[in-house]
Amino acid sequence: NAGVTQTPKFQVLKTGQSMTLQCAQDMNHEYMSWYRQDPGMGLRLIHYSVGAGITDQGEVPNGYNVSRSTTEDFPLRLLSAAPSQTSVYFCASSRDTNEKLFFGSGTQLSVL
């Protein structure tokens, strides 16, 4: 059972480039979410989804897009990368709200 698979593990972008972070889970979880983690700060919610075809903004959504075409996949798109988006990104899923979050292994993103 793979759990939550997140790719890539590392990425370096130039300012203005776009890219997609991939996230897939095989636990049939309805809830999926993206967080970013910056030094000295807690994880902050970027976007989340409560099921296929349903997404919503979290605390820091600007500069990011998401879609949820299937239960399994929840990609995060950076439209035009900025140095302020340098961070560690985690995808997570859970069976329901208020339940245990299962995290992917994270993506270290640097924007130069």
Partner 1 sequence: RKEVEQDPGPFNVPEGATVAFNCTYSNSASQSFFWYRQDCRKEPKLLMSVYSSGNEDGRFTAQLNRASQYISLLIRDSKLSDSATYLCVFYTGGFKTIFGAGTRLFVKA
Residues near partner 1 (CB under 8 A) are 31, 33, 35, 40-45, 48, 50, 56, 90, 97-98, 100-101, 103-106, 108
Which of residues 17 and 86 has its CB atom nearest to partner 1 in the complex? 86
Angle at 71 between CA 60 and CA 18, to 5 degrees: 45
Shortest distance, position 57 Cβ to partner 1, whole Å: 11
Please give the backbone phi and psi of residue 49, each rounded to the nearest 5 degrees, phi first: -140, 135
- Dist CA 6 CA 18 (whole Å): 17
Rg of the chain over Cα atoms, rounded to whole angstroms, equals 13
Which of residues 66 and 104 has its CB atom nearest to partner 1 in the complex? 104
Shortest distance, position 16 Cβ to partner 1, whole Å: 28
Which of residues 17 and 44 has its CB atom nearest to partner 1 in the complex? 44
Shortest distance, position 38 Cβ to partner 1, whole Å: 9
| Half-sphere exposure in the Cβ direction for 50 (13 Å, CA) | 6
